[in-house]
Amino acid sequence: MPKAKYDFIYKDLKSRIENGEYEFQELLPSENHLVLTYGCSRNTVRRAVAALVTDGYVQTMQGKGVRNIFEPAQQTSFTLGGIESFKESALRNRQTPRTKVLCFTELTADEKISKKTGFPPGSQLYYLQRLHYLDDKALILNHNYFLKDIVPSLTPEIAENSIYEYLENTLRISIVTSKRVMTVEKMTQIDEKYLELGDYNCLAVVSSQTYNSDGIMFEYTQSRHRPDYFRFQDNATRRPASH
Amino acid sequence: MPKAKYDFIYKDLKSRIENGEYEFQELLPSENHLVLTYGCSRNTVRRAVAALVTDGYVQTMQGKGVRNIFEPAQQTSFTLGGIESFKESALRNRQTPRTKVLCFTELTADEKISKKTGFPPGSQLYYLQRLHYLDDKALILNHNYFLKDIVPSLTPEIAENSIYEYLENTLRISIVTSKRVMTVEKMTQIDEKYLELGDYNCLAVVSSQTYNSDGIMFEYTQSRHRPDYFRFQDNATRRPASH
DNA sequence: GCCGATTTGTCCGTATGTATC
DNA sequence: CGATACATACGGACAAATCGG
Indicate whether B151 pLDDT > 90: no
Q: Which residue is nearest to nucleotide C17 (CA to C1')?
A: B4
The arithmetic mean of pLDDT across residues A95-103, rounded, is 85
* pTM (two decimals): 0.81
| pLDDT tens digit sequence for A77-91 | 444 445 555 666 666
Contacts with A74 (C-beta within 8 Å, 6 or more apart), sequence order: A56, A233, B179
Q: Find, among B131, B136, B115, B145, the residue nearest to B191 by Cα.
A: B131
Q: Find, among B121, B90, B97, B92, the residue nearest to B108 by Cα.
A: B121
Q: How confident is residue B117, by pLDDT bands cut at 50, 70 and 90?
A: confident
Q: How far is CA A123 from each of CA A65, A104, A214, B25, B92, rounded to the nearest angstrom?
A: 53, 17, 17, 18, 35
| pLDDT tens digit sequence for B203-230 | 999 998 888 877 788 899 999 999 888 8
Neighbours of A62 (CB within 10 A): 6
The Cα–Cα gap between B222 and B209 comes to 9
The Cα–Cα gap between B77 and B57 comes to 14
The Cα–Cα gap between B159 and B106 comes to 14
Task: Specify the pLDDT at position B166.
Answer: 74
Give B 44-83 residues with CB within 8 A of chain A: 51, 54, 56, 59, 61, 67, 69, 74, 77, 81-83
Give helix B31-38 / helix B42-54 axis angle, nearest 10°: 110
Q: How confident is residue B86, by pLDDT bands cut at 50, 70 and 90?
A: low
The arithmetic mean of pLDDT across residues B122-136, rounded, is 91
| The CA-based dihedral angle spanning residues B34, B37, B38, B43, taken in that order and rounded to the nearest 10 degrees | 30
The Cα–Cα gap between B48 and A46 comes to 16
Task: Specify the pLDDT at position B189.
Answer: 94
**Strands annotated E in A10-157:** 58-61, 65-68, 97-108, 124-134, 137-147
Q: Quick one: what percent of chain A has pLDDT higher than 90?
A: 44
Q: Looking at strand D, which nucleotides approach a protein CB closer than 7 A?
A: 4-13, 16-19
Cβ of B59 and A211 within 8 Å? Answer: yes
Task: Specify the pLDDT at position A173.
Answer: 64
Task: Specify the pLDDT at position A175.
Answer: 62
Indicate whether B64 pLDDT > 60: yes
The Cα–Cα gap between A11 and A236 comes to 21
Q: Which amino acid is at B39?
A: G
Contact B217, B118 (CB under 8 A): yes
Indicate whether B22 pLDDT > 70: yes
Give phi and psi for B104, each to the nearest 5. -145, 105
Q: How confident is residue A238, by pLDDT bands cut at 50, 70 and 90?
A: low
| pLDDT tens digit sequence for A20-60 | 999 988 999 999 999 999 999 999 999 999 999 988 899 99
Work out whether the CA dihedral B227, B233, B238, B239 comes out positive or negative. Answer: negative
| Least confident span in A108-112, A196-200, B37-41, B70-74 | B70-74
Query: Max alpha carbon distance in chain B (Å)?
Result: 61
Indicate whether B181 pLDDT > 80: yes
Shortest Cα distance, chain A CAs vs residue B98, angstroms:
21
Q: Find, among A38, A227, A17, the residue nearest to B182 by Cα.
A: A227
| pLDDT tens digit sequence for A187-237 | 999 999 999 888 999 999 999 888 887 778 889 999 999 988 888 888 777
Q: Higher pLDDT residue, A114 or A43? A: A43
In terms of phi and psi (left: phi > 0; alpha: psi -120 to 50; beta: otherwise), the region of B136 is: left
Nearest-by-CA chain A residue for B179:
A235
Task: Specify the pLDDT at position A33.
Answer: 95
The Cα–Cα gap between B132 and B87 comes to 9
| pLDDT tens digit sequence for B88-108 | 666 666 677 888 999 999 999
Does residue B232 sit at the A interface (CB-CB below 8 Å)? Answer: yes
Give phi and psi for B98, each to the nearest 5. -150, 145
